[in-house]
Amino acid sequence: MRKVLEPRSGLRAASLLVWTATLCLVLAAGRRPLMAAEPPVSDPRAATDPTVALAAPEHAPAPAAAEHHGLSRDAVEITRVLGLPITNSMIVSWVVAVGLIVFAHAATRDMQQVPSGAQNFLEWMVAALYGLLEGIIGAHLVKKTFWFFATIFLFILAANWVGLIPGVGTIGWGQQGPHGFQIDQPLFRGANADLNLTLAMATIFFACWIVWALQEVGIGGMAHELFGAKGETAGVLKLLMILIFFAAGCLEVISILFRPVSLSFRLYGNIFAGENMLETMATLVPGYGWLLPIPFYFMELLVGFVQALVFMLLTAVFTLLICQHEEEAPAAAHAR
C-alpha cells in the first residue's frame, strides 16, 4: 500500500531555514565590506597640482576598479544591525527562507482530501523526496532525519535558482569604468556563492550527524564502527587486523572532521564559478551581453538542481554509514 505522507511535514522542514540563516549571520560577523579603493597618489604634489600626475602617468598605480575582474570572493556588507553585519548574500538567503515558509504555509492552510494547486505540488514534492531517501537510508532512519534532508535540498535548490534571477548581482552601487558602469557593491548576491552560508549548513549537518549517531548506536557503537575490527579472525591475524582497523579508524576520523569543509567548498565553488561564468559571458562581446549567457543559464539551472541533490545525498549517505546496524544493513539497502 502506498504510504500517505502528511504535507505539514514540509512546513516543519521549512521552519529550519530560519535557523540556517541565523547561523549564517553569526558566522558572518566581523567581515568587512568590499569597498572600491581609491587609487593611491605616488607624489604628494599631485593632490594640488594636476600637472604632476600627468607628467609621470607610468608611475601611477591602476585604479582598483580596473584591476577587478569578475565577482568578489566575499559577500559585500550592506549595513549593520546591532553591530552584526548584514551582507548581500544574507539578504537573498532570508528572502528564499521566507518565501519557502510562506509557500508551505499557504499550501497547507486549507487542507483538502483531494489536493490541488499548491497543496498538490507540495505533497508530490515531499512524497518524492521521502521515497528517494527511504530507498537510500531505510524506513527507520528516514523518519528521524527527513526534516533535515528535505530542508537542505529545498533551500539549496531555491537559493541556487533565485541567484539566477536577473538583477541579482547587477543592482547596487558602483562607478563609471572604462567599459561602462561597473557594480562594486551589488545589493543582492547568490546565497550559496557565500562560503559563510555553505559552511553554516555543513556545520548544522555535522552537529545533527553526531546527535543521530549517538541516538542510534551510542558512543560504543561509534567507536566500534570507526576502530573495531571486522570479520572473523583468530590468533596473530586477529591482532594484525585490530592494528589495521585502528589505523584505518584514525584516518576515518580525519575524513569525518574534514566533511564540513568539503561539503561547503563543493557547493560554494560550483555556484561561485557559475556566477563568474555568466558575468564573463555577459561582458565577453560588447553589444551581445544579453544573448551569450542564455545557453549557460539553462546549464546553471541544471547545476543548481544537481548541487542541491548532491549535498542532500552525501549527507544522507554519511548518516547511514555511521547509524546503520550491521544486522540491519541488508534490509536498509533493499528498502523501497
In this prediction, residue 198 carries a pLDDT of 95
> How much is the pLDDT for 186?
85
pLDDT band at 162 (very low <50, low <70, confident <90, very high): very high
Q: Is 87 helix (H, G, I), strand (E, B) or coil?
A: strand
Lowest mean pLDDT among 55-64, 273-282, 296-305: 55-64
Q: What would the pLDDT profile of 65-77 be if each residue is shown by its tens digit?
A: 334 455 778 888 8
Please provide the DSSP assignment of 40-84 as one string.
Answer: PPSSGGGGT-HHHHHH-GGGSPPPHHHH--S--SSPPEEEEETTE
What percentage of the chain exceeds 90 in pLDDT? 45
Q: What are phi and psi of 120, to 5 degrees?
A: -65, -45
What's the first-to-final CA gap in the chain, in angstroms? 12
pLDDT for the residue 37: 35
User: In one letter, which amino acid is 279?
Assistant: E
Strand-pairing partners, residue 182, are 175
Mean model confidence pLDDT for the chain? 78
pLDDT at res. 14:
41
User: Could you tell me if 85 and 28 are in contact, meaning their C-beta atoms sit under 8 angstroms apart?
Assistant: yes
Most confident by average pLDDT, 93-97, 173-177, 285-289: 93-97
**Given pLDDT bands bounded at 50, 70 and 90, which one contains residue 123?**
very high
**Cell numbers standing for residue 116:** 490541488
User: Which of 153, 179, 182, 162 shows the shortest CA–CA distance to 170?
Assistant: 182
Distance from chain centroid for Cα 201: 7
- pLDDT at residue 254 tops 80: yes
pLDDT of residue 180: 65
Mean pLDDT of 103-117: 89
- Is the Cβ–Cβ distance between 136 and 317 less than 8 Å? yes
Residue whose C-alpha cell is 584505518? 248
Residue 36: what pLDDT? Answer: 35
Grid coordinates given for 151: 530542508
Q: Identify the band that residue 236 occupies on the pLDDT scale cut at 50, 70 and 90.
A: confident
Give the model's pLDDT for residue 103.
Answer: 95
Query: What is the DSSP annotation of 148-216?
Result: HHHHHHHHHHHHHHHTTSTTTTTSEEEEEETTEEEEEEES---GGGSHHHHHHHHHHHHHHHHHHHHHH
Phi first, then psi: what are they for 230, rounded to 5°?
-105, 150
Q: What is the pTM of this model?
A: 0.75
